[in-house]
A = this chain, B = another copy of it.
Amino acid sequence: MNHYTKFAGRFAVLLHELQGRQAVVIGHQRPDGDCIGSQVGLCRVLRSQGIDAVCMNPDPVPRRIKFLIGDTPFFQRDELPAGDRLALFTDCADHGRAGEKVKALYPAPQACFDHHVSNVGFAKRNFVDTGSAATAEVLAGVFLDADIAFDATTAQALYTGIMTDTGQFRFPSTSKRVFQLCAELVARGASPARAGQELFERESVGKLKLLEHYLSSLKFECEGRACIGILPAGIFEQVGATVEDTEGLVDYARSIEGVEVGVLIEERPGMMKASLRATHSSYRIDTVASQFNGGGHANAAGLNYPATLAEFYPQLVAALGRRLAEVDAIRQ
């Protein structure tokens, strides 16, 4: 079966070009599961083909996805030993996604593997498929098409990349091919249970306490179309949580039936930090965030605004109300 016919010849040429060379597989800043999974998967396959490849990321690998690395040589940017390595970028929509320093270090990328819609192909050999759910999906398909054998660590890394970038198989990008490739990855040793365990079964008590406080604070505004929860100053110390533990909290507000915009406000001394999530990108919620020095994506935005809660809250509700009215007007 051919998953990516268009990439087969190109990948054979790339492998040929890399023979006898050193390579570095580079991922983006603040790496996620698809980034690390793709880096590990590509690096291991290159090594299995006799190429001296290592991974490098500008940032540390997050705690919960460290398990993917195994015995893969993985370096943080400034720890990578000097050498003349050809650069392969994974999951980077553009050359600068690994940071300006990395861009300057590797001005002529040899290859790029990605699925982001904004990727215009910044490398010599581009493997960009914007119809794919994950970069790891592209890689798994290319490896299987090329009939390259790979080990369980590689399979686990690619599986986890697909699983995280499909939102656990819930995003619209979750295709027949996604499931076909996952079947092949499981056959080669990927463990869905292990991925689930490492990513979602290692919650801290502090995180659940934070969730409890967030839920207890939820209020409906804009006739129930917006739902806002507040984490008061000092809550992190009180429950033993860290700022990373806020990840995913705002989704609870957004997931309530009838709610179109969910908001998480973190109260800080003299500063309001807020995360906004809309149910659809048509809400252009970044235009609300930009009214408070913020920005972001059309359905996921954030802001830091110097104000007290008493000042900020009514302003935010008013801005949300205006935006919802605009959305209504566009729809009519």
CB atoms of A193 and B170 under 8 A apart: yes
Against B, the Cβ 8 Å flags (1 = close, 0 = not) of A211-231 are: 110011010000000000000
Which of B168, B180, B184, B193 touches A171 (beta carbons < 8 Å)?
B193
CB atoms of B257 and A208 under 8 A apart: no
CB atoms of A255 and B205 under 8 A apart: no
Q: What distance in Å separates the Cβ of A1 from its nearest Cβ neighbour in chain B?
A: 11
The answer to the question of A95 belonging to the interface, with a C-beta cut-off of 8 Å to chain B, is no
Which of B167, B187, B208, B215 touches A208 (beta carbons < 8 Å)?
B215
Which of B178, B186, B193, B254 touches A176 (beta carbons < 8 Å)?
B186
The answer to the question of A17 belonging to the interface, with a C-beta cut-off of 8 Å to chain B, is no
Instruction: List 24 contacting pairs A-B, 8 Å CB cutoff, sorted by A.
Output: A167-B196, A169-B182, A169-B192, A170-B192, A172-B193, A174-B186, A174-B193, A175-B186, A176-B184, A178-B183, A179-B180, A179-B183, A180-B180, A201-B254, A202-B255, A203-B255, A203-B256, A205-B218, A208-B218, A209-B215, A211-B211, A211-B215, A212-B215, A212-B216
Interface residues on A, range: 35 or more
The answer to the question of A48 belonging to the interface, with a C-beta cut-off of 8 Å to chain B, is no
Q: A207: nearest residue on chain B (CB-CB)?
A: B256
User: In whole angstroms, how far apart are the Cα atoms of A197 and B251 in the complex?
Assistant: 12
**With known contacts A197-B279, A202-B257, A203-B255, A179–B171 Cβ distance under 8 A:** no
User: In whole angstroms, how far apart are the Cα atoms of A287 and B170 in the complex?
Assistant: 34
Q: Which 5 A-B pairs have the closest CB atoms?
A: A170-B196, A179-B183, A174-B192, A212-B215, A172-B193
The answer to the question of A54 belonging to the interface, with a C-beta cut-off of 8 Å to chain B, is no
**Interface core residue of A193, A254, A255 (most chain B CB under 10 Å):** A193
Q: A196: nearest residue on chain B (CB-CB)?
A: B170
User: In whole angstroms, how far apart are the Cα atoms of A170 and B184 in the complex?
Assistant: 17
Contacts of A218 in B (CB 8 A): 205, 208
The answer to the question of A2 belonging to the interface, with a C-beta cut-off of 8 Å to chain B, is no
**Interface core residue of A179, A195, A201, A279 (most chain B CB under 10 Å):** A179
CB atoms of B179 and A256 under 8 A apart: no
User: In whole angstroms, how far apart are the Cα atoms of A196 and B179 in the complex?
Assistant: 15
User: In whole angstroms, how far apart are the Cα atoms of A196 and B186 in the complex?
Assistant: 22
Contacts of A195 in B (CB 8 A): 170
The answer to the question of A128 belonging to the interface, with a C-beta cut-off of 8 Å to chain B, is no
Contacts of A163 in B (CB 8 A): 169
Q: A213: nearest residue on chain B (CB-CB)?
A: B212
Against B, the Cβ 8 Å flags (1 = close, 0 = not) of A144-184 are: 00000000000000000001001111111011111110111
User: In whole angstroms, how far apart are the Cα atoms of A195 and B215 in the complex?
Assistant: 24
**Interface core residue of A192, A205, A209, A212 (most chain B CB under 10 Å):** A192
Contacts of A168 in B (CB 8 A): 168-170, 196
CB atoms of B176 and A183 under 8 A apart: yes
The answer to the question of A204 belonging to the interface, with a C-beta cut-off of 8 Å to chain B, is yes
Against B, the Cβ 8 Å flags (1 = close, 0 = not) of A246-277 are: 00000010111100000000000000000000
Contacts of A212 in B (CB 8 A): 212, 215-216
User: In whole angstroms, how far apart are the Cα atoms of A187 and B170 in the complex?
Assistant: 16
Q: What distance in Å separates the Cβ of A12 from its nearest Cβ neighbour in chain B?
A: 27
User: In whole angstroms, how far apart are the Cα atoms of A192 and B197 in the complex?
Assistant: 22
